[in-house]
Amino acid sequence: MPVRMGGWLIVLVVGVAAVFGLWRGAEWADPIGQGTPAPAFSLPRLGDGTPLDLTRLRGRVVLLNFWATWCKPCEDEMPAMERLYRRLQGSGFELLAVSVDSDSEEVERFRERLGLSFPILLDPEQRVAGAYQTFRFPESLLIDAEGVIVERYVGPKRWDAEAYVERIRRLLPPAVPSRPA
């Protein structure tokens, strides 16, 4: 009798696992990482709520950062991100910080307190974070001008360090000389 109950238990466990696998299977995808196309998305900007569509930034190098106001390492890296943004602004580079917070007012207070000027996008349901398979914060992805992920960075970084600045600069499209009028 114990063998039969053990057999039923195995069948039950396998059945539950199969059902769970089918239910979760739609959410599972190939790993998002180096060499894969960056998943397209559109998210509202903090402040005015106007949508920002990643595909409209094709032709630019994008640093996509996922973060939260309650994350101390996220806060620690933000000043360096601001310095990087100001240093490379207008060069074919864009920095997008995607907040996974549910309270946009808290995000606004965070931005004001740190004096951040780069675009902050809102992803309170973490749909885009999920599409990028991001669950640790901060986590950043460097996307080239063709929309392909070049690097994935987990944890806080000193984004204004020369190594990161030069890595981004090497990816920037060549400047197009302006024509004389």
Task: Express each pLDDT in 63-121 by its tens digit.
Answer: 999 999 999 999 999 999 999 999 999 899 999 999 999 999 999 999 999 999 999 99
Q: What is the largest CA-CA distance in the chain?
A: 92
Judge whether residue 172 has pLDDT over 90: yes
Q: Which pLDDT score is estimated for 92?
A: 94
Q: Place 29 in a pLDDT band, splitting at 50, 70 and 90.
A: low
Mean pLDDT value across residues 131-155 = 96
Q: Residues of 58-96 as b/e, b for ≥16 C-beta within 10 angstroms?
A: eebbbbbbbbbbebeebbebbebbbebbeebeeebbbbb
Domain boundaries, the chain: 1-30, 32-171
Going by C-alpha positions, the residue among 125, 138, 119, 135 that lies closest to residue 72 is 138
The first and second tokens of residue 166, run together, are 């030069």
**CATH: 3.40.50.2300, 3.20.20.70, 2.60.40.1180, 3.40.30.10. Which one for 32-171?**
3.40.30.10
Which residues are CB-contacts of 174 (< 8 A; sequence separation ≥ 6)?
Answer: none
**pLDDT higher than threshold 80 for residue 41:** yes
Strand pairing category for 61-67 and 93-99? parallel
Q: Averaged over 170-177, what is the pLDDT?
A: 76
pLDDT of residue 78: 98
Residue 45 predicted with pLDDT over 50: yes
Residue 7's pLDDT band (cuts 50, 70, 90): low
- The Cβ of residue 37 has, within 10 Å, a number of other Cβ atoms equal to 11
pLDDT in tens, 155-164: 999 999 999 9
Q: What is the mean predicted confidence (pLDDT) over 125-145?
A: 96
pLDDT-based confidence at residue 33 (cuts at 50, 70, 90): confident
Q: What is the pLDDT of residue 51?
A: 97
pLDDT at 35: 94
Read off the pLDDT of each residue in 137-154 and give the average, rounded to a whole number. Answer: 97
